[in-house]
A and B are shown apart, each in its own frame.
Chain A
């Protein structure tokens, strides 16, 4: 049902955890639906220098969180915003149709983390 890449990310997820003093945090989904993703990013000079995730969800949810963090690490904020759920799914060799919403959650969590970073930057809570 899942590709080898999905299984690899499920079994050996990259960037699991949380970042202390993160520049931005995005949490999406809810426990009722069985999916929650939380992504922390650390930004320096407009570049994502660290990213960590924690996910409550199925195999596809964990794998897409892991892959999404891997794809944006080292990218600029603007580049990271260009990463779509489709790219994440494709880079995993595809997902079953019923699991595509899991990849949307990963994209949304990431975007939310970046928005959080931008807002905090604007509010002067953090500096570049």
Chain B
């Protein structure tokens, strides 16, 4: 059976040009870029080249890019680092209810450490209302952190507008852009973003590497103490091959963005249309247009997400769900609850996230497979009345 991967929001595959760029740094070029000798020097140059590639994709300067171990580390560093660096000015942090756990749990931890927080609600499409942000600002607000695009429902926030509000109030603005890279055109300067997190493996670089953009002049407390790497701000010998891979991957993602987005949007919209046509009592979660090009998230009534996932897996299709059974807790996804879904509807959610590797044929196969899986599960459901 041919397997079809439609879980690209979870992770992506390393593409050939990225692997090719990485290979020398797994073999021949093994020097430590901090070393003075020739081996070190030959590693230093490509490291700085990768930094420039990341900076260029974001409209930043290379000296504003700091390599980290993952998106979660970047989020932790940005939020904890900003909170503690500004703790004398104030204790209040604003975020949204639909952030990734890397942000939410970090803010919650800071609350335990004496900071205060406001979790902005979102509307039924997952959008933060800029007026709500404006109203939530207090004299002691030191940080606003709102994700650029949501990992579950794909909603793209009006980041420029939100960051402008932060700027007007002279408050630091961080955005978790982990899902947005390669799909949303980013210019940190024009968008007034002070801090931005990204993660390599979401755009065809390897796992275990991320970056944090820190606008020049923004002071963060360190998260990781150690050597003088990353201009003394993040100790630890650089993960060379992965960093090189991330540099190549972000350059390609930026170059191919328009072309990929066109292809992805067409597949996404066909998938949504096809599911709605073939499966009654299904709803689209998230926004119809302010949405990541590869994201499909639907709630299918009367059945539970894990069953759908296993059924799809047996059909050869890899997807994801926000049901409690797949979240490892008793509650379904906090994102689906925040957009106003009842527990019952949230349990029956399915996320399919496409990449440019997918084809329209894959989409048709997935629609047909999902229809079969849903029909079978509904026939077993005590909530479903076929009539």
Contact between chains at B314 and A34 (CB < 8 Å): no
A36 partner, pick from B306, B310, B330, B383, beta carbons under 8 A: B383
- Compute how far the CA of A26 lies from the CA of B378 in the bound complex, rounded to whole angstroms: 19
What per-residue 1/0 map shows which CB atoms of B321-344 lie under 8 Å from chain A? Answer: 001110010101000000000111
Contact between chains at B324 and A57 (CB < 8 Å): no
With contact pairs A27-B382, A31-B383 given, residues A58 and B343 touching in the complex (Cβ less than 8 Å): no
Contact between chains at B323 and A58 (CB < 8 Å): yes
Contact between chains at A36 and B382 (CB < 8 Å): yes
- Compute how far the CA of A90 lies from the CA of B224 in the bound complex, rounded to whole angstroms: 47
With contact pairs A32-B343, A33-B330, A98-B328 given, residues A55 and B381 touching in the complex (Cβ less than 8 Å): yes
Contact between chains at B307 and A58 (CB < 8 Å): yes
With contact pairs A10-B310, A58-B307 given, residues A34 and B379 touching in the complex (Cβ less than 8 Å): no
Name the interface residues of B245-304: CB closer than 8 Å to any CB of A.
302-304
Is B380 positioned at the interface, with any CB of A under 8 Å from its CB? yes
With contact pairs A10-B307, A34-B332 given, residues A16 and B380 touching in the complex (Cβ less than 8 Å): yes
Which residues of chain B have C-beta atoms less than 8 A from A16's C-beta? Answer: 379-380
B344 partner, pick from A10, A32, A60, beta carbons under 8 A: A32
What per-residue 1/0 map shows which CB atoms of A63-77 lie under 8 Å from chain B? Answer: 000000000000000
Nearest CB on A from B218, distance (A): 42
- Compute how far the CA of A56 lies from the CA of B382 in the bound complex, rounded to whole angstroms: 6
Closest to A102 in B: B325
What per-residue 1/0 map shows which CB atoms of A18-43 lie under 8 Å from chain B? Answer: 00000000010001111111100000
Which residues of chain B have C-beta atoms less than 8 A from A94's C-beta? Answer: none
- Compute how far the CA of A33 lies from the CA of B380 in the bound complex, rounded to whole angstroms: 18
Nearest CB on B from A103, distance (A): 14
Is B351 positioned at the interface, with any CB of A under 8 Å from its CB? no
Nearest CB on A from B118, distance (A): 27
Interface bin, chain B: 20 to 34
Contact between chains at A33 and B382 (CB < 8 Å): no
Which residues of chain B have C-beta atoms less than 8 A from A62's C-beta? Answer: 307, 377, 380
What per-residue 1/0 map shows which CB atoms of B91-114 lie under 8 Å from chain A? Answer: 000000000000000000000000
- Compute how far the CA of A34 lies from the CA of B305 in the bound complex, rounded to whole angstroms: 9
Which residues of chain A have C-beta atoms less than 8 A from B323's C-beta? Answer: 34, 58
Which residues of chain B have C-beta atoms less than 8 A from A55's C-beta? Answer: 380-382
A56 partner, pick from B314, B332, B342, B381, beta carbons under 8 A: B381
Nearest CB on B from A101, distance (A): 9
Closest to B383 in A: A56
Is B234 positioned at the interface, with any CB of A under 8 Å from its CB? no
Nearest CB on B from A45, distance (A): 28
B380 partner, pick from A13, A98, A99, beta carbons under 8 A: A13
Is B52 positioned at the interface, with any CB of A under 8 Å from its CB? no
Closest to B345 in A: A31
- Compute how far the CA of A105 lies from the CA of B332 in the bound complex, rounded to whole angstroms: 19
Is B204 positioned at the interface, with any CB of A under 8 Å from its CB? no
- Compute how far the CA of A105 lies from the CA of B303 in the bound complex, rounded to whole angstroms: 17
Which residues of chain B have C-beta atoms less than 8 A from A60's C-beta? Answer: 325
Contact between chains at A56 and B343 (CB < 8 Å): no
What per-residue 1/0 map shows which CB atoms of B131-169 lie under 8 Å from chain A? Answer: 000000000000000000000000000000000000000
Is B201 positioned at the interface, with any CB of A under 8 Å from its CB? no
Contact between chains at B343 and A59 (CB < 8 Å): no
Which residues of chain B have C-beta atoms less than 8 A from A32's C-beta? Answer: 342-344
- Compute how far the CA of A56 lies from the CA of B385 in the bound complex, rounded to whole angstroms: 12
Contact between chains at B382 and A34 (CB < 8 Å): no
Which residues of chain B have C-beta atoms less than 8 A from A59's C-beta? Answer: 306-307, 310
Which residues of chain B have C-beta atoms less than 8 A from A34's C-beta? Answer: 304, 323-325, 332, 343-344, 347
Nearest CB on A from B376, distance (A): 9
B347 partner, pick from A27, A31, A54, beta carbons under 8 A: A31
Closest to B346 in A: A34
- Compute how far the CA of A8 lies from the CA of B314 in the bound complex, rounded to whole angstroms: 11
Nearest CB on A from B346, distance (A): 9
Contact between chains at A58 and B325 (CB < 8 Å): yes
Which residues of chain A have C-beta atoms less than 8 A from B383's C-beta? Answer: 31, 36, 56
B304 partner, pick from A2, A11, A13, A58, beta carbons under 8 A: A58
B306 partner, pick from A31, A33, A37, A58, beta carbons under 8 A: A58
Binding site for A on B (CB under 8 A): 302-307, 310, 314, 323-325, 328, 330, 332, 342-344, 347, 377, 379-383
- Give the top 7 A-B pairs by smallest Cβ distance, nearest first: A58-B306, A31-B344, A54-B382, A58-B325, A34-B347, A38-B382, A32-B343
A-B contact pairs, 7 of them (CB 8 A): A33-B330, A37-B382, A54-B380, A56-B302, A56-B303, A58-B325, A98-B328
